[in-house]
Amino acid sequence: MSSADTPTARSAGASYGKKIMHDVFSRFGAKLGLTWIAVIAFVAVFAPFLANSHPLLLSINGEVSSPALSFLTSGDVTVLGVFICAVALYFLRLSFTKNIVVLAVVGGGIALLSIIFVNPPQLTVYEQYRVNESAANYDWVIRAPIPYSPKDYIREQGDTGLEAPLSNEHRSHLMGTEENGADVLSRMIHASRIALAIGFIATGIALFIGVILGGLMGYFSGVVDMIGMRLVEIFEAVPTLFLLLIFVAFFERSLYVMMIIIGVTGWPGYARYVRAEFLRLRQQEFVQAAIVCGLPLRSVLFRHMLPNGMAPILVAASFGVASAILAEATLSFLGLGLVDNPSWGQMLNQSVQSSTFNWWMAAFPGGAIFLTVFAYNLIGESMRDAIDPHLKRKS
Amino acid sequence: MYTYIVRRLLLMIPTLLGITLVVFIVMASAPGGISAQSLVEGQNLEPQAKKALEDYYNKLYGLDSPAPIQYLRWLNNVSPVGFTFDEAGNLDGFSLFKGSDLGKSFRYGRPVTDLIAERVPITALLNIISIPIIYIIAVAIGVRAATQRGQSFDVGSSAMMLGLWSIPTMLTGVLLIGFFASDQYWHWFPTSGLNDRVALDMVFLPHWGSLSDILILIFSVLFATAFFIWMSRWSKPYTRAACFAVIGLLAGFFMADALPEKEQGLITYLMITSLAAALFGAVAYAQYSVLRVFFMGLVGLGIGFIVAFYFQEGPFVRGFLLDRAWHLVLPIICLTYGGFAFLSKLTRTAMLENLLSDYARTAKAKGVSDNDVLWRHVFRNSLLPLITVSASLLPSLLGGSVIVESIFSIDGMGKLAVEAVKGRDRELVLSITLISGLLTLLSYLIADLCYAIADPRVSYE
């Protein structure tokens, strides 16, 4: 992983960024990490079709219907729409900025439309399908691979409760059930959305604040730098976890507030990196030339300087995604996370709250957190090795 | 130098002000925020009593005044220099020596200073034990990995350290408690706290019933440790690995045997024995002699103790010290592994940079022995990043102990912080913020000063 097996045959025309990316993803560790994240992303997008108590398709007296589709929430529809749009964009091969703009517009549009038009039934009775199926009321049924919703407590069968993986001969729970009888694997699949979203959006917010403040500090230096560094110090001097706790404890608990909070407490690290890069870059000729040409400040900072100082920031961001996921898990574990929806940290907390120790309730969600964090760390590590000139020169 | 220190100390004041201001704004602007109502909430009281209690809290903590006034009042109380008030709350005068007062906790009704003074030694104990462990393991692994660059130890340890670093502390804590402390599996360690009730009445040191027991203990421990260390020095790796795999097999068998009836089964036996055998064999096979000697010595020590306890006859009192150590094992494991994983990677990078530098090559060319180059030249120069990180290690350990302390129910600063935040205890939250901020800033300063000591080229004149 750390061995500098840099590919020697590179296309001469490729940009520095492309070369680095090629270098990064030719490493074993980065490939491994990317694969795992792709798996998680797939699972997160198609969660309602992978783990759902509503059958995917069923036929009553020759009439075919799909409860799974009719019970999709507006959130599910948005996620699916954005995913399809992203896949389409990948094949269209537009420029990076255009991609982002199109994705944002389409995502926003779908979200708005789905909020207006998608109305899943308020009342969900998970038991009806199983009852009907055992009474042979259906002609045929196609069920999801894991036929349990995250909040399906299987109440109609009285013996439910804690079950070890594969211990029940009537139902198959690959990863067991929690105390109320809900399927652990199904909860984990639906929680993967939270982990993924928190990681990207919280890091995005932190990166946004960090790049702007750090850029201004590095470019202007002097008094701006002095004040900015005090601000950075203020946020760094309190342990991040404690700061997070304060923020979370005093505000309402929703996914979006959590993302913003993790982002707002995470920016000082990026600001430091950007500042250091910009302090180095501002003396260089191309920056001086851009200033002399009379380009506006925005252009100098973000079109000319930022792309040249982006590499170490991306490394930090990769590690940052990992720590954002960890932060959410920790908060949920301490009982300050989301209330209604399962998240991996909250499931870990659940395993502590119960009176007995049930390894499947701790090991599976905890293992998922570990693997995801590890995947991001692997990518970050590969990126750091790829952009490190020291390792290349001396090898 | 002194002007530099004074300047840095003065720069801390605006930072500390900013920290408390940020935290106060968060608390005050939160919906619900801090008010007498939120304190009284949940207590089942008659309306009059409720009103009276609210008035009492309002008067005691000044909760009915506007937020900026509340902050300024708190600031005035905390700062050693400020205005003084008389009994009725009227402005009395300005004093330079009024001393700082952190106020009273809402929830506990006790002075914050007392609460913190109770909790700090516990967190300090955890950190004082874990920091040296972190540094020793990190240096041992990092230096070795750097010198063996690109070989199997380097690649393996790099991957393993990255993996360790990624394991969330709460997972480790939950699994360790679940498997090694709950009576469902191995009930070897206590689940919570820092000592048993009974241990408070015990003598400090462990006591044995008779002299022969002590002799047996000393003899068996010494013999077993010496034997295993001797074994770890054998030159043939395969013999070592085979011998040790057999010992691992036996240990695994006893471990599986110690499980309660309902958990036992053929698969469990096979899994545990093969796992133990593989671990023991792999360590014994390793080229790195320090690791081997350390691990095997530890195993020998353990076997010596077990044998001694098997043969002893008289009564045995474990004493306060041993009880405390017994309680500390699991929390310390949770606190250290992330730290040394991170630091060992850092050590490796720093060592590598210096090992490849010109002066190291010059020293080697002069004929300085490899060991001297490594430890006298390269290692000293690689210390700088380790010093820098030690500054950020302190706050991170305080943060890390939040999780560990709440998992293991240890009443330290971390748990106090969580309780304060959950209970919306304004004085306590602000004080903890202030103290942890002050500690962090001081450790930054100390790290910068150490930098100058370690590297004569750095000067702050």
**What tens digit of pLDDT does each residue of A198-225 get?**
899 999 999 999 999 999 998 888 888 8
Q: How many CA atoms lie within 13 A of A353 on its CB side?
A: 13
Structure tokens at B285: 């096979």
What chain B residue is nearest to A364 in terms of C-alpha separation?
B171
pTM (two decimals): 0.87
A338: nearest Cα among A117, A150, A110: A150
pLDDT tops 90 at residue A372 = yes
pLDDT tops 70 at residue A308 = yes
What is the number of CB-based contacts under 8 A between chain A and chain B?
147
Q: Is B429 on the interface with A (CB under 8 A)?
A: yes
Residue A163 forms part of a structural domain: no
Residue A270 forms part of a structural domain: yes
Task: Say whether B422 and A357 touch across the interface (CB within 8 A).
Answer: no
Chain B interface test: which of A233, A252, A379 (most B C-beta within 10 Å): A233
Structure tokens at B399: 């943060």
pLDDT tops 50 at residue A8 = no
B6 to A356, B2, B3, B19, B104: CA distances (angstroms) = 56, 6, 5, 20, 32
Task: Say whether A3 and B395 touch across the interface (CB within 8 A).
Answer: no
pLDDT tops 70 at residue B232 = yes
Average pLDDT, chain B: 82
Of A241, A250, A366, the CB nearest to B171: A366
What is the C-alpha separation between A103 and A85, in angstroms, rounded?
Answer: 7
A213: nearest Cα among A125, A274, A149: A274
Residue A143 forms part of a structural domain: no
DSSP H helical ranges for A71-135: 74-92, 96-117, 127-134
Q: Is B362 on the interface with A (CB under 8 A)?
A: no
Q: What's chain A look like in SS3?
A: CCCCCCCCCCCCCCCHHHHHHHHHHCCHHHHHHHHHHHHHHHHHHCHHHHECCCCCEEEECCEEECHHHHCCCHHHHHHHHHHHHHHHHHHHCCCHHHHHHHHHHHHHHHHHHHHHHCCCCCCCCCHHHHHHHHCCCCCEEECCCECCCCCCCCCCCCCCCCECCCCCCCCCCCCCECCCCCEHHHHHHHHHHHHHHHHHHHHHHHHHHHHHHHHHHHHHCHHHHHHHHHHHHHHHHCCHHHHHHHHHHHCCCCHHHHHHHHHHHHHHHHHHHHHHHHHHHCCCHHHHHHHHCCCCHHHHHHHHHHHHHHHHHHHHHHHHHHHHHHHHHHHHHCCCCCCCCCCHHHHHHHHHHCCCCCHHHHHHHHHHHHHHHHHHHHHHHHHHHHHCHHHHHHC
CB A35 within 8 A of CB A372: no
pLDDT value at residue A166: 75
Give per-residue pLDDT as tens, B143-202. Answer: 888 888 888 888 888 889 999 999 998 899 989 988 888 887 888 888 887 777 777 777
With b meaning 16 or more CB within 10 Å and e meaning fewer, what string describes B413-448? Answer: bbbbbbbbbebbbbbbbbbbbbbbbeebbbbbbebb
Touching B: A residues 19-48, CB under 8 Å: 29
pLDDT value at residue A9: 43
Chain A interface test: which of B11, B116, B171 (most A C-beta within 10 Å): B171
Task: Say whether A239 and B398 touch across the interface (CB within 8 A).
Answer: yes
B309 confidence band (pLDDT: 50, 70, 90): confident
Task: Say whether A374 and B402 touch across the interface (CB within 8 A).
Answer: no
pLDDT tops 60 at residue A392 = no
What is the C-alpha separation between B76 and A347, in angstroms, rounded?
Answer: 44
Mean pLDDT of A307-332: 87
| Number of separate domains in chain A | 1
ipTM, 2 decimals? 0.85
pLDDT tops 70 at residue B218 = yes
User: Which DSSP helix (H) or strand (E) runs through B95?
Assistant: strand B91-95
CB A193 within 8 A of CB A44: yes
Mean pLDDT of A129-137: 82
Helix axes B379-407, B169-176, angle to 10 degrees: 60
Mean pLDDT of B309-329: 80
Q: Is B130 on the interface with A (CB under 8 A)?
A: no
Residue A81 forms part of a structural domain: no
Mean pLDDT of B227-243: 82
What is the C-alpha separation between A206 and A261, in angstroms, rounded?
Answer: 9
Residue A385 forms part of a structural domain: yes
pLDDT tops 70 at residue B354 = yes
Task: Say whether A336 and B403 touch across the interface (CB within 8 A).
Answer: no
pLDDT greater at residue A375 or residue A302: A375
Structure tokens at B266: 């053929």
What is the C-alpha separation between B387 and A287, in angstroms, rounded?
Answer: 35
Which residues does residue B95 pair with via DSSP β-bridges, in sequence order?
B82
Q: Is B388 on the interface with A (CB under 8 A)?
A: no
Give the range of the structural domain holding residue A297, as residue numbers without chain letter: 16-50+190-394
Task: Say whether B418 and A334 touch across the interface (CB within 8 A).
Answer: yes
The CATH number linked to A272 is 1.10.3720.10
Residue A82 forms part of a structural domain: no
pLDDT tops 90 at residue A39 = yes
pLDDT value at residue B33: 63
Mean pLDDT of B112-137: 86
Give per-residue pLDDT as tens, B19-71. Answer: 888 888 888 877 766 666 666 666 667 778 777 877 777 777 777 777 788 88
Give per-residue pLDDT as tens, A59-100. Answer: 888 888 888 888 888 888 888 888 888 888 888 877 777 888
pLDDT tops 70 at residue A12 = no
Residue A372 forms part of a structural domain: yes
Question: Which residues of chain B are within 8 Å of residue A230 when distances are taken between CB atoms?
Answer: 11, 14-15, 18
Sequence length of chain A is 395
Touching A: B residues 4-23, CB under 8 Å: 11, 14-16, 18-19, 22-23
Chain A interface test: which of B174, B263, B401, B433 (most A C-beta within 10 Å): B174
Task: Say whether A242 and B167 touch across the interface (CB within 8 A).
Answer: no
Task: Say whether B432 and A1 touch across the interface (CB within 8 A).
Answer: no
Q: Is A362 left (phi over 0), alpha (psi -120 to 50) or beta?
A: alpha
Question: Which residues of chain B are within 8 Å of residue A362 when distances are taken between CB atoms?
Answer: 171, 174-175, 178
CB atoms within 10 A of CB A136: 7
Residue A130 forms part of a structural domain: no
Question: Which residues of chain B are within 8 Å of residue A239 when distances are taken between CB atoms?
Answer: 395-396, 398-399, 402, 436, 440
Pairing state between β B207-208 and B91-95: unpaired
What is the C-alpha separation between B321 and B316, in angstroms, rounded?
Answer: 14
What chain B residue is nearest to A319 in terms of C-alpha separation?
B166
Give per-residue pLDDT as tens, B249-280. Answer: 888 888 888 777 777 778 888 888 888 888 88
Task: Say whether B399 and A240 touch across the interface (CB within 8 A).
Answer: yes
pLDDT value at residue A6: 44
A158 confidence band (pLDDT: 50, 70, 90): low
Which of A135-139, A361-365, B437-441: highest mean pLDDT? Answer: A361-365
DSSP string, B399-436: HHHHHHHHHTT--SHHHHHHHHHHTT-HHHHHHHHHHH
CB within 8 A of A276, min separation 6: which ones? A218
Structure tokens at B157: 């340890």
